[in-house]
Amino acid sequence: MRNPTQSLRALDALNFFLADVQTSIGPFVAIYLATLHWNNEHVGFALTVASLTGVLFQTPAGALVDHVRAKRELLALGVVLVVLATLGLGVYPILVVVLAAQIVLGGVSTILGPAVNAVTLGLIGPAHLDRRIGRNQAFNSAGNVVAAVSMGLVGYWLTARAIFFAVPLFAIPTLIALASIWPQEIDHARARGARAGGEEVQIFRIQSLLRDRRLLAFIGCVTLFHFANAAMLPELGELLARGRGRSSNLFMAACVITTQAVITILAPWVGRKATDWGRKPLLLIGFGVLPLRGVLYTLTSIPLLLMAIQVLDGVANAIFGVVSVLVIADLTRGTGRFNLVQGALGTAVGIGASLSTAGAGFMVYHYGYDAGFLSLAGIAAAALVLLWLAVPETLTWVSPCSARTKYEETLTNV
C-alpha cells in the first residue's frame, strides 16, 4: 500500500532540485557571453529578452496552469525545455540561438513556480497551505544555495560553458521527484483554488476578481516592493566591484548565499506564524526591513558589513515568498483562479523589477550610490504605507475539523 506522505516528500525533492534547474544558469549567462567577446549591447539585449518574456507570459501562464489538468506533465515539459535551451546556449551560442533560448527560459520560468504551488494546493488543501509553502520555500532556497556553489565551482574549475552542460544532470533527479508525486493524490479542482471534489466547479469571471479592492491594493504593494527591492543587490554588486577586481565576485557570491541561507532557515517559521499571527503582521515586517536595508547601505563601505546587511534581504524575501502565495490563496479561495492571479502577481513583480533597475541606474549615474539606495528606500517606505493603509488581513480562520479528511491529516504531518 502506498505511503500517503510519499508525494509530499517527493514535493520537497522537487522544490530542491527544480531550484538547481530553474535558477542555476541565470546569473552566469552574462559572464558566459562576455567570455565569448559579446559586446555589452548584445549581452544586455539577450538578458532583456528573457525579462520581457517573463513579464508578458506571467498572467497567461497562470491561466494555463489553471486550465491544464495534467500539472505534473506540464512541469516535466518545462524542465525538458529548460534543458534544451541551456544545451543550445552551450553548444551553439550565436545571437539567434541565444535569443531563442532566452525566450524559452523566460517563458518557462513563468509556469514552473505557479505549477508547483498548484500541485501543493492540490495535495494539501488550503487549511494547511501556510506550513507547506514555508517548507517549499525552504527547500527551494537550499537548492539555490547548492546551485550557486556548484555552478560557481564548475565555472571556476572547468569553463563557463560547462555550466550549461551541468543543468541536465540536475534535471534527472527533478524529473524523478516529479514522477514520485502520485497523480491520484492531487485534487485538480482544489489545485486551482476551487472547491475540492470535482471538475464541474464554476470558475469565477475575471471581472469579479478585478473588482476586488484588496487584490488590486496588494498587487500595487507588490509592484512598489519590487520596484524598491530588485535593484538593491545589483547596485551593491557594482559598489563592491569598485577597485576590488576578482574578489568582487566572491563578495557577490557571499551576498547571494547569505540571502538564500536566511530564507532557508526562516521560511518554515514564516509558514507557521502566518496562521498564528495572520498575514498582514508578517508582511509589514517584510516590507519594513526593506527601507531600513536601503538606508544601511549608505552608512558603510566595509564589504563584511555590507554582506551582513544582506540578512535583511533574506528576511524580506522569506516573508514575501511565503506570505504572498497565502494571500493570493486567501483572496481566490473558491474562485478557481488561484494560478491566474499568481500569474498577475508575477507580472507585477516583473514590472516593478524592470522599473527598479532602470530608475536606480539613472539615480546612481547622475547622483551617486547613496542617492540610488535612498531613492529605493523611499519607494520601499511608500510600499509599506500603502500596505498598512490599503490591504486588510486576508486570513479567515478555518476549523481543522471542517472539510478535512483523514488522508489530509496524514499529509500535513510530513
In this predicted model, what pLDDT tens digit does every residue of 63-109 receive, in sequence order?
889 888 889 999 999 999 999 999 998 888 888 888 898 889 888 98
Model pLDDT for residues 248-293, shown as the tens digit of each residue: 556 766 777 888 889 999 999 999 999 889 999 999 999 999 999 9
pLDDT tens by residue, 307-343: 889 999 999 999 999 999 999 989 888 878 888 888 8
Q: Could you give the C-alpha distances from 178 to 6, 116, 120, in angstroms and in order?
A: 11, 10, 12
On whether residue 306 sits in a domain, the answer given is yes
226 with 368, same domain?
Answer: yes
The pTM for the full model equals 0.80
* In a shared domain, residues 170 and 287: no
Q: Which residues contact 107 (CB under 8 A, 6 or more apart)?
A: 53, 54, 57, 61
**Any domain includes 414:** no
Q: How many domains does the chain have?
A: 2
Q: Give the model confidence (pLDDT) of 333-383 as tens digits.
A: 887 888 888 888 888 988 888 788 778 878 877 888 899 899 999 999 999
Residues 71 and 166 both lie in one domain: yes
Q: Are residues 391 and 316 in the same domain?
A: yes
Cα 150 to Cα 82, 122, 155, 157, distances in angstroms: 18, 32, 9, 11
Residue finishing a domain among 160, 192, 224: 192
Residues 69 and 32 occupy one common structural domain = yes
Distance CA 287, CA 222 (A): 10
Q: Is residue 236 a part of any domain in this protein?
A: yes
**Same domain assignment for residues 155 and 294:** no
Centre a 10 Å sphere on the Cβ of residue 106 and count the other Cβ atoms it contains: 24
**Do 209 and 325 have their domain in common?**
yes
Which of 192, 224, 251 terminates a domain? The answer is 192
412 part of a folded domain: no
CB atoms within 10 A of CB 48: 14
- Tell me, yes or no, whether 258 lies in a domain: yes
4 and 133 inside one domain: yes
Q: Do residues 345 and 63 make contact, with C-beta atoms less than 8 angstroms apart?
A: no
**270 and 384 in a common domain:** yes
408 is a domain residue: no
Which of the listed residues 171, 192, 213 is the one where a domain comes to its end?
192
- The reply to whether 161 and 112 lie within a common domain is yes
How far out from the chain centre does Cα 120 lie? 15
Domain span at residue 32? 1-192
In a domain, 53, yes or no: yes
Look at 402 and 8; give whichever has higher pLDDT: 8
Domain-located, residue 411: no
Place of cell 466547479: 201
Return the HEC string of the chain.
CCCCCHHHHHHHHHHHHHHHHHHCCHHHHHHHHHHCCCCHHHHHHHHHHHHHHHHHHHHHHHHHHHHCCCHHHHHHHHHHHHHHHHHHHHHCCCHHHHHHHHHHHHHHHHHHHHHHHHHHHHHHCHHHHHHHHHHHHHHHHHHHHHHHHHHHHHHHHCCCCHHHHHHHHHHHHHHHHHHCCCHHHCCCCHHHCCCCCCCCCCCCCHHHHHCCHHHHHHHHHHHHHHHHHCCHHHHHHHHHHCCCCCHHHHHHHHHHHHHHHHHHHHHHHHHHHHHHCCHHHHHHHHHHHHHHHHHHHCCCCCHHHHHHHHHHHHHHHHHHHHHHHHHHHHHHCCCCCHHHHHHHHHHHHHHHHHHHHHHHHHHHHHHCHHHHHHHHHHHHHHHHHHHHHHCCCCCCCCCCCCCCCHHHHHHHCC
Instruction: Tell me what pLDDT residue 96 has.
Output: 87
Residues 87 and 133 in one domain: yes
Q: Are residues 238 and 369 in the same domain?
A: yes
CATH code assigned at 352: 1.20.1250.20
